[in-house]
Structure 1
Amino acid sequence: MPGKRLSMRKIREVLRLKYELNRSNREIGLSCGIGSSTVSDYIQRVRNGGFTWPLPEGLSDTALEQLLFPPPTPRNSSGLLPDFHEVHKELQSRKHVTLNLLWQEYKERHPDGYQYSWYCHNYRDWAARLDVVMRHEHRAGEKMFVHYAGQTVDVIDGDTGEIHKAQIFVAVLGASNYTYAEATLSQQIEDWIGSHVRAFSFYGGVTEAVVPDNLKSGVSRVCRYEPDINPTYHALANHYQTVIIPARVRKPRDKAKAEAGVLLVERWILARLRKHTFFSLAELNQAIKGLLDILNNKPFKKLSGSRQSRFVEMDKPALRPLPATPYEMAYWKKVTVHLDYHVEVEGHYYSVPYTLVKKQLEVRYTTTSVECLYRNQRVASHLRNQSRGRHTTIREHMPPKHQKYSEWTPERFTRWAAKIGPQTRVLTETLLVQRTHPQQAYRTLLGILRLGKSYGEQRLEAACDRALQINALSYRSIESILKNGLDQKPLRNKENNSKPLQHSNIRGADYYDSTIH
């Protein structure tokens, strides 16, 4: 197979679309952002490996990869050239005959012949003049076409007077032309996904496929043959058990239904609202809803019935049922595990197993949860925490040596330091508040406080006093003071030295002196 090997997550998506949703290789390729020949290659590998669907429970990505890509065996690459004249004739005259079928027959005759990718590439070079015209026949419940109107509607902020350009989302069903429209503040991923959720709810079911235009919110990288679908958009499709098939670039017939729906919405809804003033998005959507009902019930000119009646007769019975709960907006990002076995999500840090340090993970997060995945396997799950600069740590994720630190608390360190002396406690509190996360100071404090066993608590108290005066608050600085006997010598120009850190959580030595006396 040419090119870069797919991720296991994308391979599993290919298998799901093929065996669970029964989609064609071309549709799967469009949905997953790969070539149809690549899809065919993976399906063939599955067949050769004797897999069954669904895949065995617990089958890891590593095991699946080894089964799909066994070590290559040497072979003679000098297969006979295919007869492309005969190939062309078969494709033109035989119904349901495909290049994949013809290649399989060729390989049966010539086991050492050329591979599928070479076979397709060279045939297409030979048949460069072939003009393939795709006929569009929309079955009931098959496709929902989605697009944004080019026209916007002004929404005025009643408090500031600021004018927002509301975007108009349009969805059209292929068979009945039943239309849905709504206004959103942007075309960003949150509004894009939300509009799909509300469109499915409006229709009361889910189509087999969704055909979007090449919008950046849904398609990360625009390419005629291999559009890369946004992971969040893929997650939406998986939740509703449908498939995303983006319209091809510069192929207007792929999105003709959507373009026609947009034109109708602009003529029959937006044109009628041109003289209205709206002060909220809800007010605008209420007006759109009323005119949308009129549009869908408007009788056809050349056909019997209306969009509404054809929807009830054709599309509605064929739609797949909605899931038990609507899709919850999820975000995806790639992260590298830090040396402290945490990953960052929106300014907060979540732990993962320490064995994954420096590994790249995928994180899926919603307003309520954070999931960390490695090779498509969930390795950590947390409740979402909005506190920036904080850490959420699961004890089992720590290395064994670090787990013992989880038994410590700032209060425990403070009590230990107070037994040694007020200056030691001030230094301890200072280190705890200086670090973004108190646990980051634990190892340093353990080292400092244990110096009292080697040098005596009285000398450690004097060393902490000196360290505070010169603002040298580290284990190495205090150890150096004790090792060189500086704790027993007066500090030069003490009055000119930096004052210790002032903080509302640090009581200071005077507090403890007054408490003692």
Structure 2
Amino acid sequence: MIRYRKILELQDEGISLRGIAASTGHSRQKVTEVIGLAERKGLVCPLGEEMTDQWIEDFLFPERTLEASGRQPLNFDYIHEELAKPNVTLSLLHHEYEAECRAKQKIPYSYRSFLRHYSTYADKYKATLRIRRKPGEILEVDWAGTTAFIIDRDTGEKVKAYVFVATLPCSQFSYAEASLSMDSHSWITAHNHAYEYFGGSTQIVVPDNLKTSVTKHTTRELILNPTYREMADYYNTVVMPARVRTPKDKASVEGSVGVISTWIIAALRNTHCFSIDELNKEVWQKLDEFNNRPFTRKKGCRFSAFEEEEKFALSPLPGAPYKMSEWKTAKVRPDYHLSVESMFYSVPYEYINRQVEVKLSENLVELFFNHMRIASHKRLYGKFGQFSTIRDHMPDNHKLFVDQTPEAAIEWAEGIGSFTLNVVQYLLGTSQTEKQALQSIFSLKKAERQYTKYEIERACKMIVSMTKRPTVKSIQTMLKNNKKNDAQQELKRKTDSSTNEYGFTRGASYYGGTDK
């Protein structure tokens, strides 16, 4: 047996290769090979008592025990690396291994032996076992059943603080955060901080059936909370809630919740914090200690397992964290506005008395009907009762009223004609108040519903030729009179044309008679 332990201990003491070879009775080539392989696999002094020469040989040369059987040796590093890739399974790798054995005319291991040897290798030499969980695939989240507390400065009472826990099942790397509430805002905020702590997002997130994550979950139907669904889309992940009363669907986080309840929540039972920020500083300090605690049955810790085995597989995060949106429902009022937190926002008047969905974000209010966005407004803050109205949402008669400004009145008059423009300018210049002038002009504009632009311009021309002080009333009267006169003339023209409906009448001379 090669004296592996002695070689590594002498090398740690700074003895030369020649000295080590002389002391152990091995060649310098063998000594160099052992030292180099130990450095590549991270085996350094001081060595534990269980690390005998046989243990070290199994660690440095795991394939030797398999070669003695006469079967094709297994490349465990390759298997472990390939299992990290999406959709790669041990069944697939064993199938490829059998094909390789047939090509080399070697005896392959059975699938059961293949699985057992890999499990033994991963348990002994690797931080993670990739049979059940792939790196970067799943994030399990939940609230801890045990609560922490903070002290109210004024009353001295203990205030409950709820602890959010997120765990990556592959490496068991975890995140924890305390919050004063378990509402949707706290839930989303904790997710944002967890993704930031991990430095990436997973393909799937597995929550419990909380109202903040799931609206309805039956064997036939799954309806996610709209805000939670949006957050998942933003981080390009899929929400797959655990089945009802099936804790095994998120066993990793259930286990982490129990451990964190001991090593974080219980460990802080005698620590008095007066704000949630103070409590979270203590929680995160204990969290670092928890993630760096050595594993009991294998080398490394949760943090090292995450760094070496899982961090590379996480998806990159967006440039900024998800900004939470809140969803509500509201009924459109008869004035085509709806009330949201005592502010009023317009929608197209066709949706009056309809129930619409409201998406509230920090700076934007979006309104949806049957999952289709029908309006969006900048969110209003400050004094209650403010209105945000978009002109295109109004009926035509409301648009006419809202558009009453001196500039709009002049622009309208220019589109009618020069005499109408003279009348409008006269009204704006002579009325006691601007509002009074605009009301008069609005009455004149409504004439467009019954009369053409030509008729309005002609009436204004006739009134201006009669008086230097035209009024809207006189123009309206002239429009009626002109309409009546035009109707009479049209009737007279039709009557005259009916009397000559037979054309030219021949005289008596045409028929041979005499006209005298």
| TM-score after normalising by structure 2 | 0.52
The answer for the alignment partner of 2:292 in structure 1 is 297
Q: Secondary structure at the match of 2:150?
A: strand
The answer for the alignment partner of 1:197 in structure 2 is 192
User: Does residue 212 of structure 1 match 2:207?
Assistant: yes
The answer for the alignment partner of 1:361 in structure 2 is 356
Would you say the 8 A contact 1:155–1:280 is kept in 2?
Answer: yes
The answer for the alignment partner of 2:258 in structure 1 is 263
Would you say the 8 A contact 1:141–1:314 is kept in 2?
Answer: no
**Where does 1:498-509 land on structure 2 (aligned, <5 Å)?**
none
The answer for the alignment partner of 1:329 in structure 2 is 324
Alpha carbon RMSD of aligned pairs, Å?
A: 3.2
Q: Shift of the alpha carbon at 1:183?
A: 0.2
User: Does residue 339 of structure 1 match 2:334?
Assistant: yes
Q: Measure the CA separation in 1 of the matches of 2:310 and 2:327.
A: 33
Q: Measure the CA separation in 2 of the matches of 1:379 and 1:226.
A: 27
Q: Secondary structure at the match of 1:276?
A: coil
Amino acid at match of 2:237: T
In the alignment, which of 399, 403, 406 is matched to residue 399 of structure 2?
403
**Where does 1:27-426 land on structure 2 (aligned, <5 Å)?**
137-223=132-218, 226-386=221-381, 387-408=383-404, 419=432
Q: Measure the CA separation in 1 of the matches of 2:404 and 2:296.
A: 78
Q: Measure the CA separation in 1 of the matches of 2:242 and 2:303.
A: 26
- Structure with the larger RCO, 1 or 2 (CA within 8 Å, 6+ apart): 1
Q: Measure the CA separation in 2 of the matches of 1:326 and 1:393.
A: 31
Q: Measure the CA separation in 2 of the matches of 1:136 and 1:227.
A: 29
Amino acid at match of 2:403: E
Q: Shift of the alpha carbon at 1:377?
A: 3.0
- Seen in structure 2, the aligned counterparts of structure 1 residues 136 and 235 have a Cα distance that, compared at 3 Å, is farther
Q: Measure the CA separation in 1 of the matches of 2:271 and 2:306.
A: 30
* Cα deviation digits, residues 342-381 of structure 1 (max 9, x gap): 1221121111122232333222111211011233332211
The answer for the alignment partner of 1:10 in structure 2 is none
Q: Shift of the alpha carbon at 1:249?
A: 0.8
Higher-Rg structure is 2
Q: Shift of the alpha carbon at 1:262?
A: 0.4
* Cα deviation digits, residues 164-187 of structure 1 (max 9, x gap): 200000000021110000100010
Q: Secondary structure at the match of 2:253?
A: helix
Amino acid at match of 2:247: P
Instruction: Give the unaligned 5+ runs of structure 1.
Output: 1-94, 97-134, 410-414, 426-441, 451-517
Q: Shift of the alpha carbon at 1:331?
A: 0.6
Instruction: Give the unaligned 5+ runs of structure 2.
Output: 1-90, 93-129, 406-427, 447-516
- Seen in structure 2, the aligned counterparts of structure 1 residues 322 and 347 have a Cα distance that, compared at 3 Å, is same
Would you say the 8 A contact 1:232–1:330 is kept in 2?
Answer: yes
- Seen in structure 2, the aligned counterparts of structure 1 residues 237 and 219 have a Cα distance that, compared at 3 Å, is same
Q: Measure the CA separation in 2 of the matches of 1:258 and 1:273.
A: 20
Q: Measure the CA separation in 2 of the matches of 1:201 and 1:159.
A: 34
The answer for the alignment partner of 1:35 in structure 2 is none
Q: Secondary structure at the match of 2:401?
A: helix
* Cα deviation digits, residues 171-209 of structure 1 (max 9, x gap): 000211100001000101110111111111111100011
- Seen in structure 2, the aligned counterparts of structure 1 residues 255 and 323 have a Cα distance that, compared at 3 Å, is same
Amino acid at match of 1:330: S
Q: Shift of the alpha carbon at 1:163?
A: 3.1
Q: Secondary structure at the match of 1:221?
A: strand
Amino acid at match of 1:208: Q
The answer for the alignment partner of 1:505 in structure 2 is none
The answer for the alignment partner of 1:102 in structure 2 is none
Q: Shift of the alpha carbon at 1:278?
A: 1.0
Amino acid at match of 1:398: M
Q: Secondary structure at the match of 1:285?
A: helix
Q: Measure the CA separation in 1 of the matches of 2:177 and 2:341.
A: 30
- Seen in structure 2, the aligned counterparts of structure 1 residues 266 and 408 have a Cα distance that, compared at 3 Å, is same
**Where does 1:11-26 land on structure 2 (aligned, <5 Å)?**
none
Q: Measure the CA separation in 2 of the matches of 1:161 and 1:206.
A: 40
- Seen in structure 2, the aligned counterparts of structure 1 residues 258 and 226 have a Cα distance that, compared at 3 Å, is farther
Q: Measure the CA separation in 1 of the matches of 2:241 and 2:255.
A: 17
* Cα deviation digits, residues 226-282 of structure 1 (max 9, x gap): 342111101111111111111111112112111101011111111111111110101
| TM-score after normalising by structure 1 | 0.52
Q: Measure the CA separation in 1 of the matches of 2:144 and 2:268.
A: 14
- Seen in structure 2, the aligned counterparts of structure 1 residues 398 and 162 have a Cα distance that, compared at 3 Å, is farther
Percent sequence identity is 43
Amino acid at match of 1:399: P
Q: Secondary structure at the match of 1:320?
A: coil
Q: Shift of the alpha carbon at 1:162?
A: 4.4
- Seen in structure 2, the aligned counterparts of structure 1 residues 210 and 267 have a Cα distance that, compared at 3 Å, is same
Q: Secondary structure at the match of 2:251?
A: helix
